[in-house]
Amino acid sequence: MVLEDGSSFEGRSFGFDGSLCGEVVFNTGMVGYPEAMTDPSYKGQILVLTYPLIGNYGVPDDHPQAGLSAAFESESIHIAGLVVSSYSPHYSHWNASRSLADWLKAYQVPALEGIDTRALTKRLTQKGTMPGKLLVSQEDLQFHDPNTDNLVSLVSPKRPLRHEGGKKRIVLIDCGTKHGIIRSLLDRGLTVIRVPWDYNFLLEDFDGVVISNGPGDPKMCSETVTHVRKAMERHSTIFGICLGHQILALAAGADTYKLKFGHRGQNQPCIELATKRCYITSQNHGYAVDVQTLPADWRPWFTNANDGTNEGIRHCSRPFMSVQFHPEAAPGPVDTNFLFDEFLGSL
**So which residues are the catalytic ones?**
242, 326, 328
Q: In what order do the strands lie in the sheet with 130-134?
A: 2-3, 130-134, 20-27, 45-49, 81-83, 111-113, 12-13
Residue 207 CA to residue 189 CA, distance in Å, equals 13
Q: Are 109 and 15 in contact (CB under 8 A)?
A: yes
Among residues 181, 182, 187, the alpha carbon closest in space to that of 166 is found at 187
User: 294 with 318: CB under 8 angstroms?
Assistant: no
Question: 10 Å Cβ neighbour count for 126?
Answer: 9
Please provide residue 97's backbone torsions phi and psi, each rounded to the nearest 5 degrees. Answer: -115, -20
DSSP state of 303: E
Query: Within a 13 Å sphere around the CA of 197, how many CA atoms are in the beta-carbon half?
Result: 24
CA distance 305 to 284: 16
